Structure 1
Amino acid sequence: MIDVLVAGGGPAGLATAIHAALAGMEAVVIEPRPGPVDKACGEGLMPTGAAALAELGVAAPEGRPFRGIRYVDGRHRVQAEFRDGTGLGVRRTALHAALALRARELGVRVVPGRVDAVRATGERVRARVTTRREPDGPEPYEREPCGPEPCRPEPCRPQPRRPELDAPELDARWLVAADGLHSPIRARLGLDLPSGGPRRYGLRRHYRVAPWTDFVEVHWAPGGEAYVTPVGDDLVGVAVLSSERRPYDEHLARFPGLLARLGGPPATPVRGAGPLRQRVRRRVAGRVLLVGDAAGYVDALTGEGISLALLSARALVGCLRAGRPEEYETAWRRLSWRSRLLTAALVRARRHPSAARMIVPAARRLPAVFGAAVRSLA
């Protein structure tokens, strides 16, 4: 019987498997897509996330360090440096490849497939695994009907799936659901809660230009934000966040100063994700535990998704190793409360135009408060 069966081979799932292997547990990862998998992501690791990556023994992926966060709104701007260490801007594919290599070094098996059913049987959990490979297709929301306006340049339509090969059942002491923002396992277990409020989405692509700063920049405009991360010596990632469904270029046109810096044509296609907000009843359901985006998500605005996933993976395995899995819920809340509180406050302010216009000017007038918030998150 497997000790830890991980559904999902992204950063959260691979980090969980690596921690389990380092703790002397057998870990198997189920992932339908061949790696490295790309997806919509701000691609910024806060200093705590970069430290957590090093703790796993992962060889530092190629990327670009950054030393703080800068908010920009027209002529208003404010920035704060991290107190301890630097963050790391890194392509999602490079991060995935580095984690996958470390997992292989530790003997973690990655099985192509998808967990289609889960049931508890006494001291174990049984997972039905459909073994198949799927193409590295678009994110879930890109397969939704787009309405009158396209959400990306090409038409939105379902990606073809390859035929199922077989459907074995695997037994494990624990199942970790790391199957993403719209976790099917979470939904099957009845752990979803209504999200409420406006539905926000993220779109990201890259531009072949030398970074003009060693800060991550968050640009503010009516209706949305642009999150700029240096990920290489000649490459930046630009993610736009908004509750409005419209093509990426229309979003980016709201930031003329940023657009002028980007210069030539984009280097990568658009990737999208959403709705971003996902509320979860709890993160432990018997012998099933949730990690990463599957454990709940507020918004991408503060850029902590990957860092929180890495830290949560460590906490989860620590609880399993101690024989106290029920304590993972408290550990997750303790790790994420600052991020959830600040992100929720910013998103609420975003809903009111008058309050949204004051976010950057207020941060500029109160630099000590802004700096404390950035360092707290980092």
Structure 2
Amino acid sequence: MPDRMHDVVVAGGGPAGLAVALGCAQAGMDVVVCEKRPGVLDKACGEGLMPGAVRALAALGVDPPGHPIDGITYRQGALAAHAPFRCGSGRGVRRTQLHDALSEAVRRAGVPVSSTSVTDVLQYDDHVRAGVLRARYLVAADGLHSPIRDLVGLGSRGRTSAPRWGLRRHFALTPWSGGVEVTWAPRSEAYVTPVAPDVVGVAILSSVRGGFTDQLTAFPELAARLAGARPVSSVRGAGPLRQRTTGRVAGRVLLAGDAAGYVDALTGEGLALSLTTAAELVRCLRAGRPADYDRAWVRTSRRSRWLTESLLWARNRPALGRLVVPAAVRVPWLFAAAVHQLAR
């Protein structure tokens, strides 16, 4: 019904949008999700859920299937540094299975999902019109290259660092590690995440564009491991990864997930950050104080942004980038402390 007034319209049915919708529904709000893409959504993603992300999902009543992960290992040539999680187990989860689990929880909560596309936004004193829908608030969770972010003037065209892209594919292979392995090459990193007892996900982040097979040549040992393995998914890509915003709130429109601003996937906690900031967004709406969300987002994401920015700054300087893994090996307590900060 076009003239019905909802409490919240969520534009975007990815993890951030579904987490916001589920949180709003559990808080007693009338919420509808708009997602024009049919079926189960997939995305290029490292698929490692940090312990904090597992807990955030549990708080929503969501428990996706996957493979336990016990920590992070950095590799470079013969060097390897491992840091176990101190605050519980993480989980490797196929993005499609995460979407299934969140979608089922949203369905059980009675939240309707519409194929309506939000292509225009009009704001009034007491509501916002998102296409044909009206609501007290609109949450834009429409991804890395959010059209709504630009529509409401929160996009930034400021100077950015060298662009980076991500690629991901799955292979039928028994995991050889209990955690996420990150192998560093001169201009890229490869992330191997166990997502099932017989499947690993391989994600490559790089400042050089190229196909998955070409990118894999920068990691000869990993390429040798994968040589006889059967691919069980197609290659998916994403980027450029860095997305700046001028804020997260414009009147009655709030940005969530990647749409709210993104640094890089280097530290692997994008999903954890999306889930924890989604909870802050719901809290602010429930309190009737949407303007507080911007400060809450900054506060909640500060640790993650600082660590990611610092590591990316080093990565973008070849002489320093070569020293990251050797430093983790030489000063294991510092590496362990950084992983703990990201995981909790």
The normalised TM-score by structure 2 is 0.96
In the other structure, the counterpart of 2:200 is 236
CA shift digits 1:187-245 (9 cap, x unpaired):
11121112512110000001110111111011000110001111111101111001111
Residue 48 of structure 1 corresponds to 52
- Alignment match of 1:102 (pick from 102, 105, 128): 105
CA-to-aligned-CA distance 1:242-282 (integer Å, 9 cap, x gap): 11111111111111111122232322111000000001100
Amino acid at match of 1:170: L
Aligned residue for 1:221? 185
Aligned residue in 2 for 1:119: 122
Are residue 363 (structure 1) and residue 328 (structure 2) matched?
yes
Give the alignment partner of residue 328 of structure 1, picking from 260, 282, 293.
293
Write the letter of the residue equivalent to 1:22.
Q
Q: Distance in 2 between matches of 1:269 and 1:212?
A: 22
CA distance in 2, matches of 1:307, 1:351: 24
Q: What is the correspondence of 1:1-378 to structure 2 with a 5 Å cutoff? A: 1-58=5-62, 60-128=63-131, 169-193=132-156, 194-262=158-226, 263-378=228-343
How many Å apart are 1:112 and its aligned residue?
Answer: 0.7
Q: Distance in 2 between matches of 1:220 and 1:50?
A: 26
Amino acid in structure 2 at the alignment position of 1:202: G
Question: Could you tell me how far apart the structure 2 residues matched to 1:265 and 1:105 are?
Answer: 36
Q: Which amino acid aligns with 1:171?
A: R
Query: How many equivalent residue pairs?
Result: 337
SS at match of 1:222: coil
The superposition leaves residues 108-146 of structure 1 with CA deviations (integer Å, 9 ceiling, x where unpaired) of 000012100001111000111xxxxxxxxxxxxxxxxxx
Q: Is the 8 A contact 1:206 1:238 kept in 2?
A: yes
Checking the alignment, whether the CA contact within 8 Å between 1:195 and 1:279 is kept in structure 2 is no
> What residue in structure 2 maps to residue 136 of structure 1?
none
Tell me the alpha carbon deviations over residues 280-335 of structure 1, each in whole angstroms, 9 at most, x when there is no partner.
10001110000000000000011111111111111101011111111111111111
Change (3 A) 1:240 1:368: same
| Deviation at residue 339 of structure 1 after TM alignment | 1.2
Looking at structure 1, the residues matched to 288 and 22 of structure 2 have their Cα atoms a distance apart, in angstroms, of: 18
What's the CA shift string for 1:56-96, capped at 9, x where partnerless? 012x2221010111100011110111111111110000000
- The residue type equivalent to 2:223 in the other structure is L
Unaligned runs of 5+ in 1: 129-168
**1:35 Cα deviation from its structure 2 partner:** 2.5
Letter in 2 for 1:28: V
Q: Give structure 1 regions of 4+ aligned residues with deviation exceeding 3 angstroms.
A: none
Kept after mapping to 2: 8 A contact 1:202/1:273: yes
Q: 1-side partners of 2:218 and 2:311: how far apart?
A: 19
Q: How many Å separate the matches in 2 of 1:271 and 1:195?
A: 27
The residue aligned with 1:135 is: none
Question: In structure 2, how many angstroms separate the alpha carbons of the residues matched to 1:334 and 1:195?
Answer: 23
- Equivalents in 2 of 1:117, 1:47: separation in Å? 38
| Rounded Cα–Cα distance in structure 2 between residues aligned with 1:218 and 1:113 | 39
Identity of aligned residues (%): 58
Structure 1 residue matching 2:323: 3-state secondary structure = helix
TM-score (norm 1): 0.88
Any unmatched runs of 5+ in structure 2?
none
Give, in whole Å, the separation in 2 of the partners of 1:87 and 1:177. Answer: 28
